[in-house]
Amino acid sequence: MTRYKEKDTLYANPLGSIGAFSFDAKTAAVFPDMIQRSAPGYAAIIQAIGLLAARFCREQSRCYDLGCSLGAASFAMQREIRAKEYRIVAVDNSAAMLDRMRLHLNENQLHSIDMVCADIRAIPIEQASVVVLNFTLQFVPIADRPPLIAKIYQGLLPGGALILSEKIAFVDPRQQQLHTELHHAFKQAQGYSELEISQKRTALENVLLPETLETHQNRLRDAGFASAETWFQYFNFASLIALK
Ligand code: GEK
């Protein structure tokens, strides 16, 4: 499966002007390498999403993977879920991402996964026992986040779970600085150069908008979730589980 092994060199050479980051075909081609080397703990989170889905997925329910990219979280869920007659609904608005996901789906004959090319703000969420937002909400405009979280809450069955992973911000400027620098150290340790790190940061400005853990927890509570706890954090990358 060589097509999943392309190295991310998108920002390796000096770019005259740095356009806004986009989930296009170039990004899709290097995505597994990019996210693995950019998001601390990504592989551990993906594995845990499988275990969490196995615990929460109910028969005849749906598990949503919102902003699925190449489907890593969907495939982890599919590997672990033992319930009967469930569907995984994997949604992304990048056709380039879904084209690559489809190759894997077809190759492995994974019939329990439906792919939907759509904006996650526009699709209905129904009969859900599990909803995954794995590093996706951070790309949704801040004003659109409360209605999206409210829609997810409404679409979850009682006892259902939302798994929300995000790059997070900190109120204390010293903590913000510390975690930003630690994240850069992580990326350097993964082989990214100073130039790559700084050009990527410029491309993500105004595209990836992190919020504090407190802001996320307040929004989840306001939407109706009974509780929301952090089950994972590695520097400024965290994952929450919210229970209906
Ligand atoms: C993983 N969850 O590997 N509607 C649909 N898709 C969207 C929207 C939107 N409004 N906004 C962004 N996306 C994946 C990783 S990546 C995270 C998620 C990252 C999609 C976008 O096209 C991209 O595929 C994904 O959300 C974010 O577990 O690149 O840091």
Model confidence at 6, pLDDT cuts 50, 70, 90, reads confident
pTM for the full model?
0.94
Give the closest residue (by CA) to ligand 1 atom 20.
67
CA distances from 45 to 48, 50, 237 (A): 5, 9, 10
Q: What is the mean pLDDT of the chain?
A: 92
Instruction: To the nearest 10°, report the CA torsion of 162, 75, 38, 181.
Output: 30
Distance, in Å, from the CA atom of 12 to the CA atom of 178, rounded to the nearest integer, reads 25
Q: Indicate which atom in ligand 1 lies nearest the CA of residue 120.
A: 4
**Tens of pLDDT, residues 26-44:** 888 888 888 998 999 999 9
- The full set of domains in the chain, from first to last, is 42-169+207-243 (3.40.50.150)
**Tens of pLDDT, residues 70-89:** 999 999 999 999 999 999 99
Question: Which pLDDT value is given to residue 203?
Answer: 66
**Tens of pLDDT, residues 118-171:** 999 999 999 999 999 999 999 999 999 999 999 999 999 999 999 999 999 999
Give the closest residue (by CA) to ligand 1 atom 27.
136
88 neighbors 65 (Cβ within 8 angstroms): yes
Q: Indicate which atom in ligand 1 lies nearest the CA of residue 38.
A: 30
Ligand 1 binding pocket includes 68 (Cβ within 6 Å): yes
Distance, in Å, from the CA atom of 15 to the CA atom of 199, rounded to the nearest integer, reads 8
Ligand 1 binding pocket includes 23 (Cβ within 6 Å): yes
Model confidence at 14, pLDDT cuts 50, 70, 90, reads low
Ligand 1 binding pocket includes 34 (Cβ within 6 Å): no
